[in-house]
Structure 1
Amino acid sequence: MQIETIKDVLSWTVDFHKNLKECVTHCSKQNQDERARMILSYVSGHEASLERMVEGFLNTANLNALDTWCYDYIGKHPIVEHGHCDSPFKELDTDHIMEKVVNHHEQVIELYEHLYSRVDIDSAKELLETVKNVEENEIKRMVQTANRFSDM
């Protein structure tokens, strides 16, 4: 995927959540630990929700913000292409699953922070800040719920 505008970044983010959702769903069928399967199932549903939320921004955001060019900034903060799932979660316990999921999300949040610091258009800054906040709040919620699973 060629990333040139903020719209492209949002599309990439939708693909990121979709790919992670599919990967954890795939791995949940292979993991032998019942709690890990529960966490993977929860993460899958949560990723589907995030996928829909970010897609909503694509459909409702200000066109000037979406069309803001950002390809100059991507070179300094490259976007990793998501491909096939090599079952990275199939042998992990709940703590390591969440550690890996949080790490993936932190990379996305860092990208949005980087882009926010570089754009000059107010509507683009607002959109980037909003999506970043959604990502941050949702990962916090996910971690809190995972901690509740651990208490069971």
Structure 2
Amino acid sequence: MQVETLKDVLEWTEQFHRNLSDCLHECAGKNESERARLLLDYLAKHENKLSGLVSEFEVGAETKALNTWCYDYMEKHPILHSAHCDAPFQKLNAEEIMDVITDQHEQVIDLYRYLHARADTESIRELMGNLKSLEEQEAMLMNQAANRLQDL
């Protein structure tokens, strides 16, 4: 997917979360560890929910803000462009799964941080700030749930 505008960023993020959800769901039944299967199932549902939340931002955002160009970041910092399940989650334990998920979410958060810092209008700053906060909060929730699962 070619990412050039903020609308493209939102669509890419929605697709990223949906693809990750599908991948996690697919791998959940294949992992030998019960703890990892539970985590994968939880994360798949969480990513699917997150995809929907990002989609709602696109509906509510100002058209002018969505049409703002932002291709320079993607050229300098290529991030997760994979549309297929390239992480073998079925072979990872719960801690390794969370390491991969955390890293992928940090890349998305870094993108939003960068776009927020470069925003030249209040509507763009607000949109990017809200998206950054959403991603940070959801990543924190996923990590907390994974930690609770480790306690079982």
Task: Using structure 1 for the length normalisation, give the TM-score.
Answer: 0.95
Distance (whole Å) between structure 2 residues aligned to residue 68 and residue 87 of structure 1: 32
Q: CA deviation at 1:83?
A: 2.2
Asked whether the equivalents of residues 6 and 66 of structure 1 are also in contact (C-alpha less than 8 Å), the reply is yes
- 2:102 is matched with which residue? 102
Distance (whole Å) between structure 2 residues aligned to residue 3 and residue 86 of structure 1: 21
- 1:90 is matched with which residue? 90
- 2:19 is matched with which residue? 19
Distance (whole Å) between structure 2 residues aligned to residue 4 and residue 66 of structure 1: 10
Q: Give unpaired runs (5+ residues) of structure 1.
A: none
Distance (whole Å) between structure 1 residues aligned to residue 2 and residue 87 of structure 2: 26
**Aligned-CA RMSD value:** 1.2
- 2:146 is matched with which residue? 146
- 1:64 is matched with which residue? 64
**Once the two structures are aligned, what percentage of the paired residues are identical?**
47
- 2:120 is matched with which residue? 120
Q: CA deviation at 1:82?
A: 1.7
User: What is the CA deviation profile of residues 5-35 of structure 1, one whole-angstrom value per residue up to 9, with x for unaligned ones?
Assistant: 1000000000100111011111111101001
Distance (whole Å) between structure 2 residues aligned to residue 58 and residue 82 of structure 1: 22
Distance (whole Å) between structure 2 residues aligned to residue 95 and residue 65 of structure 1: 38
The alignment covers a number of residue pairs equal to 152
1:25/1:112 CA distance change after superposition, 3 Å: same
Distance (whole Å) between structure 2 residues aligned to residue 36 and residue 129 of structure 1: 33
Distance (whole Å) between structure 2 residues aligned to residue 32 and residue 69 of structure 1: 45
Task: Using structure 2 for the length normalisation, give the TM-score.
Answer: 0.95
Asked whether the equivalents of residues 6 and 68 of structure 1 are also in contact (C-alpha less than 8 Å), the reply is yes
Distance (whole Å) between structure 2 residues aligned to residue 79 and residue 96 of structure 1: 20
Q: CA deviation at 1:84?
A: 1.6
